[in-house]
Homo-oligomer: A and B are copies of this chain.
Amino acid sequence: MAASAGPEIERLIALLAKLPGLGPRSARRSALALLKRRDQLLVPLAQAMTAAAEQVKTCSICGSLDSTDPCSVCSDRTRDGALLCVVEEVGGLWALERGGSYRGRYHVLGGLLSALDGRGPESLRVGELVARAGSGEVREVILALPATVDGQTTAHYLAERLAQTGAAVTSLARGVPVGGELDWLDDGTIAQALRARRPA
């Protein structure tokens, strides 16, 4: 890639190219930008990555990522424990939090059911979800899953599994564009879809 650049730069470019949205060319540009701003960007980013690798934990209750376990949402006594919102990944939780209108708790599923990829319920945090939903405190489970085939398959499966718990099961209103990933929606759309949520 840049045989004249020495092993450190080679390795930096090869690893940067693995970030989502960065191909080999953007990775080379990023490596140069980092090396040109060594004290302002390269060293701080290396330190931030090391700190994140050491400090960030997966919440043992909801599956989110945070500096503490339980995470800041799970340990916030002012959040409404009667509402439990199921998201595919942490990015969906962040999107809902940016929206600012949801004050309940979360459950990060860790993926979606996928016939194509051979991903079944045992690879997702489904058992934990059913247990939390059936604990007595939860009145409503809101499925905030993407409006894709896998997202809707997963929503139907979860609605069946959750029927036994006594909690109402709703999902975000259409308003989420078909094929749309939650993480890419503007905050207003998310807030609206949340308000107009309906039974799953």
Residues of A at the B interface (CB closer than 8 Å) are: 1-9, 11-12, 15-16, 18-22, 25-26, 28-35, 38, 41-46, 48-53, 55-56, 64-68, 71-73, 89-91, 93-94, 97-98, 183-184
Say yes or no: B67 contacts A8, CB within 8 Å: yes
Interface on chain A toward B: helix, strand, loop, or mixed SS? helix
A50 and B46 within 8 A (CB) = yes
Whether the pair A15, B45 counts as a contact (CB closer than 8 A) is: yes
- Taking a contact as CB atoms closer than 8 A, the residue among B3, B4, B30, B55 that contacts A6 in the complex is B55
Chain B residue with Cβ nearest A14? B48
Q: Is the CB of B94 within 8 A of A2?
A: yes
- Is B97 a contact partner of A3 (Cβ separation < 8 A)? yes
Question: Most B CB atoms within 10 A — which of A2, A51, A64?
Answer: A2
Copies of this polypeptide in the complex: 2
Which of B2, B15, B72, B73 is in CB contact (< 8 Å) with A97? B2
Cα distance A97–B5 in the bound complex, in angstroms: 10
Q: Which residues of B contact A73 (CB under 8 A)?
A: 4
Tell me, in angstroms, the Cα distance from A15 to B48 when the chains sit together: 8
Known: A4-B73, A65-B5, A65-B35. A21 touches B12 (CB 8 A): no
The contact of A20 among B4, B26, B50, B98, by CB within 8 Å, is B26
Complex: A68 Cα to B93 Cα, angstroms: 46
The chain B residue sitting closest to A58, CB to CB, is B35
Measured between alpha carbons, how far is A58 from B66 in the docked complex, in Å?
39
Q: Are B29 and A183 in contact (CB under 8 A)?
A: yes
- Which of A38, A49, A56, A68 gathers the greatest number of chain B CB atoms within 10 Å? A49
